[in-house]
Amino acid sequence: MKRLLFVSALCFFIIGAFAQKKPAYIIFNAKGKKVSYKKMMKDLAKKDIILFGELHNNAIAHWLQFEVTNDLIAQKPMTLGAEMFEADNQEPLNAYLAGEINAKGLDTLARLWPNYKTDYAPLVNLAKDNKLPFIATNIPRRYASLVNKQGFKALDALSAQEKEWVAPLPFPYDSELPTYKNILTMMGDHGTPELVMAQASKDATMAHFILQHFKVGNGFIHYNGSYHSNNYEGILWYLINQRSELNYGTIATVSQDDITQLMEENKGLADFIICVDSNMTNTY
């Protein structure tokens, strides 16, 4: 019997050791030093506003969004918000959170992303179960599309009601920000100044609604594509432009073939960089 217990314990140890050598992700700080989840959470708990940058189809990022949020709400009141909900869908989102409509009703009344059920419904339901606000922060896609075609001037033609779903006009804009300039490089011949303006209209609007619903003493965690907050730009640039005194935290998600060391190009993207094995299953 003792021998059986010993063998069982040894197998458990070997399996555990093997698993530790093949982690699905590793967390790094901005300088590329490995940090523990506990260390990251200790830092994030002190922040007023957290921007959690994700890769939209990354299962690890979505799981960690839930875990981080769940751990934060155990420590202080939180407001949740997301790029994945457009500002004019706040009413049906509120109705769902209040229990006035069910999940099918939300799907009917709001423009949900195709991966909503697997990737974002758990966060919305976390807010619902804990009676927390969940803010639809993004500019309606149809308005961003107009900016992509005509530039910021397209927003001037919106009605008073429509302008309530966009950052107050005119909002500041710096086309020389490296992340904005890089869009033109990445898009090649398809890149235009208006395309960058459309990106800025999203960043400015998300920052606007984050600050509009932020309460001193509470925390705010926002879920967005990593590019919207990488390199401390995008949404964060607009947040600091309006409320520089607040304490901000950023998270980025990257994918690498070898996650044991953070690639140079991924250093400095955020306060914490979640480096996920490129073999990780995608959600879509």
Cβ-in-10-Å burial (0-12, 13-18, 19+) of 120 comes to: buried
Separation CA 200–CA 173 (nearest Å): 7
pLDDT at res. 77: 97
From 26, 59, 22, select the one nearest 40 (Cα to Cα): 26
Q: How far is CA 35 from CA 43, 74, 218, in A?
A: 11, 22, 25
Asked if 97 and 114 count as a contact pair (C-beta separation under 8 A), the reply is: no
Q: How many CB atoms lie within 10 A of CB 115?
A: 16
The single residue listed with the structure tokens 């907050």 is: 229
Separation CA 186–CA 281 (nearest Å): 25
pLDDT at res. 20: 57
Pairing of strands 78-86, 272-277: unpaired
Sorted by where each begins, the domain ranges of the chain are 23-263
Q: How far is CA 118 from CA 109, 125, 205, 215, 284, in A?
A: 19, 12, 26, 29, 10
Instruction: For the chain, give the mean pLDDT.
Output: 93
Assigned token pair, 193: 């100044």
From 123, 67, 70, select the one nearest 97 (Cα to Cα): 123
Separation CA 151–CA 243 (nearest Å): 26
Q: Which fold has domain 23-263?
A: Rossmann fold (3.40.50)
Give the E-state strand segments of the chain in sequence order.
25-29, 34-35, 49-54, 78-86, 134-138, 219-225, 248-256, 272-277
pLDDT at res. 43: 98
What confidence tens digit (pLDDT) does each residue in 74-89 have? 999 999 999 999 999 9
Asked if 100 and 180 count as a contact pair (C-beta separation under 8 A), the reply is: no
pLDDT by 10s per residue, the chain, length 284: 444 443 444 344 333 444 557 899 999 999 999 999 999 999 999 999 999 999 999 999 999 999 999 999 999 999 999 999 999 999 999 999 999 999 999 999 999 999 999 999 999 999 999 999 999 999 999 999 999 999 999 999 999 999 999 999 999 999 999 999 999 988 876 789 999 999 999 999 999 999 999 999 999 999 999 999 999 999 999 999 999 999 999 999 999 999 999 999 999 999 999 999 999 989 99
- Contacts of 93-102 with C-beta under 8 Å, sequence gap 24+, read 93/124, 93/134, 93/136, 96/124, 96/128, 97/124, 97/127, 97/128, 97/133, 97/134, 99/128
- Secondary element (H or E) of residue 20: helix 2-21
